[in-house]
Chain A
Amino acid sequence: MSLSEIRFLPISRGTLILLRQKAEMIERGKSVLEMRREQLVKEIFLISRKLKERASIEHEYIRALEDISRLRLLVGEVHFHSMVSLIVPPKIEILPTSIQGVTVPQARILEEPDLSKIYDPEFIRVFKRLWNAVRALIEIANLEVAVERLSEHLAYVNRIVNSLERSIIPMYKKYISYVEERIEEEMIEEFVKLKGLNEVNK
């Protein structure tokens, strides 16, 4: 039943009971949403704490890139390019996962890069270092996406709670009191009518 339809309901005790039931259900829904909001906030805070590691991981990533660049300079483009071709790149898949009931796309590493064909220890060292940094960055990116999606969902829940709190519940309350007043007026009117009739009959 939409809000506009309420206005066309007949003023009766039945309507009052119906409206009270509805208002109670909305209140219950609001408290459930508030609980969900708290859960989401807790989850976001929990994930956000892990995001602090981003700076150190980025630092490690930059240092790994610097190592690779230096190696590239030292061995020359032809050697470097052909050595890199020996690396089998990693396989990464994006899978939708559920966090607190919210669908979040998460990158999952299906296969690590294969460095087995590389015989040069210096190449193996720098590329292992780079992969460790990239893997940590993927984890951080997953958390960031999770925070983003959870925040979006939190904003949505917040909007609903606010609208229930500030618009729908007060409107119901107002209408219930209006219906109550009208029923009371009708009761008094009935009473006065009955009293008048009794006096005429006497």
Chain B
Amino acid sequence: MKTYLVTRTHGLILSLIKSEEYNLLISGKIDLNKLGYNVSFEKDFVEKIFNAIVGKFVDRIVFLEKITPDYSDFFRAFLERLEVENIKAKLRYLRGFKNKEVYYPYEYFISKKDLMLINNEYELLNFLKNTPLDITYYINKLKNEDEKDLVIKEILLDIKYYEYYFSTLKEFKKFLFPMVNLERIITYIFWCTMIGEEKISKLLLLFNIKNLNYAEISHALGLSKNDLQRHLENKHYMRLLEIAEDNFIKKLKKNVLRNKDNIFFVYYYMIASYYEMKNLEKILLGRKIGLRPEVIRGTLKLFI
């Protein structure tokens, strides 16, 4: 089954959008419906295109799940990042100015309909109680002032998500741990710039997770300690995240050369599909806003 999955993935990866096709898409010389999507940048509404792009990504991962139901947990945990984003968005909508709510069209533990009907944080946290994303226990452990903080809840969700994601790696751990760990480090870097290393460490301790230090982060990112410190102090997280993501993709591409016949290749395909979704979302928004092609191109992460 595993061999079949890897072999199938070798075929599936050929259907992903290539860099020259992205260029044609940005310049409007080719439409999305010519690249295996059922929507058109020219004719369809943004929401429909956005749903189709995310839907395609979800379908690709669900297809892998269908081939190998034994690894279902891992594939679902990978997709769960979309639901975590939806939950974090809901937390913000609950505290924010009433507006139209925008979510990823993906539901597994909590349906989109339920998510939209939720009226307060208590209800939302109660919904999460029966899922691997339950953070109530950790919120209760926090001091009063932190308990109310939106950012702390979002961090707890991310920590919980990675805990869940790691738990599904099982026998793939030896292949995938370094890369999934790098994914986690990238997320923690983001939170480090928001609330500082000290607070992050305290939150990680709640989960009995070893604290990440600057040496570990800088090594993972391929940055010197001073450069990392400078970026964190200036709160230039966008630049830092860009470096982190580039480094992540570089490592992924390097490792896949040695791991073409195991689950690592499947993981590579999953990440490439994820970035295809992100890239198409950027092109869609960029074209809608009317950004210059070079600005859109500068934000893309290209794999193939």
Contacts and interface: CB of A to CB of B under 8 A. Distances in A.
Contacts of A119: 150-151, 194-195
A116 B85 CA distance: 22
Contacts of A87: 96-97
Interface residues of A, number: 25
B57 to A, nearest CB: 12
A70 interface: yes
Interface in B103-118: 103-104
Contact of A85 (B92, B235, B295): B92
Contacts of A79: 85, 88-89
Given A79-B85, A85-B97, A89-B97, A73 B291 contact: yes
Interface residues of B, number: 37
B142 interface: no
A82 B96 contact: yes
Given A81-B89, A119-B151, A121-B237, A69 B194 contact: no
13 contacts: A66-B291, A69-B285, A69-B286, A78-B86, A78-B102, A85-B93, A86-B96, A117-B150, A119-B151, A119-B195, A121-B193, A121-B194, A121-B235
Contacts of B101: 81-82
A72 B92 CA distance: 16
Contacts of A89: 97
A87 B289 CA distance: 21
A55 interface: no
Among A66, A76, A84, A89: residue with most chain B CB under 10 A = A76
10 nearest CB pairs, A to B? A85-B96, A82-B89, A82-B92, A121-B235, A81-B102, A86-B96, A119-B151, A85-B99, A73-B282, A69-B289
Interface of B: 50, 85-86, 88-90, 92-93, 95-104, 150-151, 193-195, 235, 237-238, 241, 278, 281-282, 285-286, 289, 291, 295-296, 299
A73 B89 contact: no
Interface string A112-143: 00000101111000000000000000000000
A118 to B, nearest CB: 9
Nearest to A114: B97
